[in-house]
Structure 1
Amino acid sequence: MDGKPRLLDQVREQIRLKHYSIRTERVYCEWVRRFIRFHAYRHPAEMGAAEVEAFLSDLAVRRDVSASTQNQALAALLFLYKQVLKLDLPWLGEVVRAKKPVRLPVVLSVEEVQAVLAKLEGELWLIASLLYGSGMRLMEVMRLRVKDVDFTAQQIVVRDGKGMKDRVTVLPQRLREPLRKHMQAVKAAHNAELLAERGDVYLPDALARKYPRAPWEWAWQYVFPAQSLSTDPRSGKRRRHHVDEKRLQRAFKVAVRSAGIVKLATPHTLRHSFATHLLEGGQDIRTVQELLGHADVKTTQIYTHVLNRGGLVVLSPLDRL
């Protein structure tokens, strides 16, 4: 299809104008490609609600994707029609979203968290400990900048979290010294890079234009930089990015298995455990909501259903026999 490359370029341009992440850009472009390919390379402007629903139905029925994946595809197509093609079509709001099943999050006990962390070492131990100790999401820790760690106030500022919102969370007392030592080593490596006329990091375009020297400044460096340089897919510049989250995901999976834990735990499970253990300790739900960055307290309330004391206060009828 002759217009396909131009259309995807428009999608990328609109995504970058809205400062969406490179991950969102890749995912949205891939869903647009699949949508066009599904309908024999017809242009999206020639299609409507029937074609969108046929595509989503195929994902659910023939490909058996999850509700969240189906909704991700729908979000990409809505972005295409509204933001790229600028088509104000009445059917956009009528496309039915897949209903996500309500599942309780996997939560590790305090002892299980200790067992898993004991299987990790060095930088990966520090990242995992920060996930559990602060309740941050995995990519929030990976993208953490030096300037957002406040040792004096014992807090961390999470920038551009989910929903592009900033929030403040706790810096665990037990991690102050390990994190300080880690950052000292990172700073020494950064100074060496500056001497080699490197040492710049990615900044969103608006910030890079406003503060042209900021990418080289210590304050803007990643707390957890990658071990090697890589090429920025958008600008083509070669520089040091943050640690690849897959490193922790792989190591965490091994640690869980090595600790003899059969729960399907991932690094994100540490965030669930953080919230649950705070509530178990008597922390009020509104505070936990703010620390997690939930827009609605109903999202936070799901952790009240997995509290250990919830089932223990009920005496099973079998135990009365």
Structure 2
Amino acid sequence: MRIRLRAKRYSIRTETIYLAWIRRFILANDKRHPKDMGAPELERFLSMLAVEGNVAASTQNQALSAMLFLYREVLNIQLPWMESMVRAKRPQRVPTVLSCGEVQRILAQMDGRPWLLASLLYGSGLRLMECLRLRVKDTDFARNEITVRGGKGAKDRRTVLPASLVEPLQREVERAHLMHQEDVAAGFGEAVLPHALARKYPNAAREFGWQFVFPAPKRSVDPRGGVERRHHFDDGVLSRALKRACGKAGIVKPVSAHTLRHSFATHLLEAGYDIRTVQELLGHSDVATTQIYTHVLNRGAGGVLSPLDRQAMDIRTLNLAPPVGPKAPVS
């Protein structure tokens, strides 16, 4: 299963999650081999997740995806019941969006590298891992652009680099340069390269351009290759810093790193930017995905004037006093 996932170039996180679901599926069926099981066992397992585990629809669908990958890609079993599996219907959720004032209050409670990461997520609309995996060569300070390599769906794109973040980001690059020089002097300094570039360009891994803009404070062993190298900054540190900042700022909304990306898109659309431009900056394949922000093009409930407020405006315009209370019933 692991070999097949890596051959299909699935991410390390997907690999870990899929293997965990397969393990749970086997243990839930008394350690029987998956080739000896079929639709009844899989349906029972998914139902158990929904009824006993009370998991979300997305979690149930994730488990189903892991099972389908196992049977199709690993066991090479094409069974009729696999095509008839119905995925759980995911509810339509409205994304959590912060106001400009709330974003500023949160950023004011942060400092150091977490502040810069959070500012970049909001200022450029990056996904969390896109930000953490940013390479030095993909930051263009002259054009105020960031190039996202291998984003969601294995797509490249360009997005804006806020002018206010150029100077602190340059300092971060200088800091990464010093750390890289120390690693090279210690006999390390190789960055992980995508696909087979390490074989095609043997010296590229040690070049500074391929290093992460936000390197980890310590070197670690790569779980896939067993090579000791400096990985990117830990996303858990940013998540904890965001949680602390929200508490200090008095923000009660559920805020994550992705909330800053939601706010980036919403605020651009509210400022009048074309939705196609925002779609390209976010890297969405379908404009329908971008339309969830601002609750679609008509600006949603925030852009509607309630008839009660309209009546109050008409009353003020006519300089009439508002009624004190309900009218007496007519006999």
TM tier, smaller:
over 0.9
- Structure 1 residues without counterparts, runs of 5 or longer: 1-10
CA distance in 1: counterparts of 2:143 and 2:65, whole angstroms:
39
The number of equivalent residue pairs is: 311
TM-score (norm 2): 0.90
Instruction: Name the structure 2 match of 1:154.
Output: 144
TM-score for the superposition, normalised by structure 1: 0.93
What code does the residue aligned with 1:268 have?
A: H
Aligned residue number for residue 311 of structure 1: 302
Shift of 1:29: 0.5
Structure 2 matches for 1:166-181, cutoff 5 A? 166-181=156-171
Q: Secondary structure at the match of 1:242?
A: coil
Deviates more, 1:151-160 or 1:299-308: 299-308
Pairwise CA distance, 1:302: 0.7
Partner of 1:247 in structure 2? 237
Query: How much has 1:143 moved relative to structure 2?
Result: 0.9
Partner of 2:251: 261
Q: CA deviation at 1:311?
A: 2.6
Alignment correspondent of 2:64: 74
From the CA coordinates, give the structure whose radius of gyration is larger. Answer: 2
CA distance in 2, matches of 1:90, 1:297: 34
SS state of the match for residue 227, structure 1?
coil
Distance across 1 between alignment mates of 2:73 and 2:255: 37
Q: Does 1:235 align with 2:225?
A: yes
Q: Give the letter for the 1:219 counterpart.
A: G
> What SS does structure 2 have at the residue aligned with 1:165?
coil
Identity in percent: 58
Q: Distance in 2 between matches of 1:84 and 1:170?
A: 41
Hey, what's the Cα distance between the residues in 2 that align with 1:310 and 1:151?
Answer: 39
Aligned counterparts, 1:1-321, within 5 A: 11-305=1-295, 310-317=301-308, 320=312
Cα distance in 1 for partners of 2:273, 2:188 equals: 45
Secondary structure, counterpart of 1:41 in structure 2: coil
More divergent stretch after superposition (192-201 vs 250-259): 192-201
Report the CA distance between 1:257 and its aligned residue. 1.0
For 1:8, the equivalent position in structure 2 comes to none
Partners of 1:281 and 1:185 in 2: CA distance: 35
CA–CA distance in structure 2, aligned partners of residues 314 and 154 of structure 1? 38
Structure 1 stretch 161-170 or stretch 197-206: which is displaced more?
A: 197-206
Partner of 2:292, secondary structure, is helix
Deviation at 1:149, TM superposition (A): 1.1
Q: Distance in 1 between matches of 2:38 and 2:146?
A: 45
Structure 1 counterpart SS, 2:146: strand
The alpha carbon displacement at 1:244 in A equals: 0.5
Using the alignment, how far apart are the partners of 2:91 and 2:47 within structure 1? 17
Distance, in Å, in 2 between the alignment partners of 1:38 and 1:164 is: 34
Distance 1:309 1:43, change over 3 A: closer
CA distance in 2, matches of 1:308, 1:298: 14
